[in-house]
């Protein structure tokens, strides 16, 4: 099945964080708290997915207070941190949202994402992903992690589903409600 056909079936987009929503860099403060940098283009992509009626979620191996704030700001309903077995959580998310594997897209970058990448209906790798992730992905972004790859993947899905008109209408409505 071609990537576009897979994308047409997607109802939920799940993603990794470090190396996917971020470039993988961490600044660690003396108290142990970590600082991550997120790209606003990826954030807008998530917003556009929501405007088009898509669900979104995050499954990450690390735990971060800043990620909680970012997910809250972006209205991401499914946030799972400190997860070693991402495939198990994937199935919990499927059950909770009454979805099948072919309904879900996932974007990741490294070996911790591999089992999910192999399982979902549409899998994506950021440009600088590990070779095994790229090998098992249906879509390989031209952008690296933290530099718009998530937005690129979301746009691919929304265009495959011909939802740009929905996004334009919803953005137009938002702009007029602010007046």
Which pLDDT does position 32 carry in this prediction? 85
CATH assignment of the domain containing 109:
3.40.50.1000
Give me the count of residues in the chain.
179
pLDDT in tens, the chain (179 residues): 799 999 999 999 999 999 999 999 989 999 988 889 999 999 999 999 999 999 999 999 999 888 999 999 999 999 999 999 999 999 999 999 999 999 999 999 999 999 999 999 999 999 999 999 999 999 999 999 999 999 999 999 999 999 988 787 877 777 776 55
Structural domain of 108:
3-177
Q: Identify whether the C-beta of residue 124 lies closer than 8 Å to the C-beta of residue 140.
A: yes
Considering its fold, how many domains does the chain have in total?
Answer: 1
Structure-token pair, residue 145: 């992690």
pTM score, whole prediction: 0.93
Give the phi and the psi of residue 159 in degrees, each rounded to 5: -70, -40
Residues 6+ apart with CB under 8 A from 30: none
Nearest to 39 by CA among 59, 15, 61: 15
Residues 6+ apart with CB under 8 A from 5: none
SS3 (DSSP) at 74: coil
Which pLDDT does position 179 carry in this prediction? 52
Residue 131: Cβ within 10 Å count: 8
């Amino acid at each position: 099945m071609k990537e576009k056909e897979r994308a047409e079936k997607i109802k939920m987009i799940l993603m990794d964080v470090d190396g996917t929503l971020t470039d993988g860099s961490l600044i660690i403060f003396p108290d142990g708290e970590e600082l991550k940098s997120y790209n606003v283009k990826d954030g807008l992509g998530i917003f556009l997915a929501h405007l088009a009626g898509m669900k979104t979620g995050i499954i990450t191996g690390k735990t971060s207070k800043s990620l909680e704030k970012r997910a809250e700001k972006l209205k991401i309903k499914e946030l799972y941190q400190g997860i070693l077995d991402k495939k198990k959580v994937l199935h919990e998310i499927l059950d909770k949202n009454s979805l099948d594997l072919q309904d879900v897209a996932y974007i990741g970058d490294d070996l911790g994402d591999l089992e999910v990448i192999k399982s979902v209906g549409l899998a994506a790798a950021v440009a600088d992903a590990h070779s095994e992730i790229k090998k098992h992905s249906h879509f390989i972004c031209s952008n690296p992690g933290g530099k718009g790859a998530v937005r690129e993947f979301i746009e691919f899905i929304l265009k495959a589903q011909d939802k740009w008109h929905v996004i334009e209408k919803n953005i137009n409505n938002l702009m007029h409600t602010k007046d």
